[in-house]
Amino acid sequence: AGRLTRLFDYTFTSDGAYYLVCPLDALERPLVRLFRDWLIAEVASTETFSSTPPN
Asked if the model's pLDDT at residue 19 lies above 90, the reply is no
Rounded mean pLDDT of 29-47?
A: 86
The contacts of residue 40 (CB under 8 Å, 6+ apart) are 54
Amino acid in position 18: Y
Measure the CA–CA gap between 42 and 30, rounded to whole angstroms: 18
As a whole number of angstroms, the longest Cα–Cα distance in the chain is 33
Q: What is the predicted pLDDT for the residue at 51? A: 53
pLDDT band at 30 (very low <50, low <70, confident <90, very high): very high
Going from the C-alpha of 24 to that of each of 2, 6, 21, 46, the distances in angstroms are 22, 24, 9, 27
Q: Is the Cβ–Cβ distance between 18 and 51 less than 8 Å?
A: no
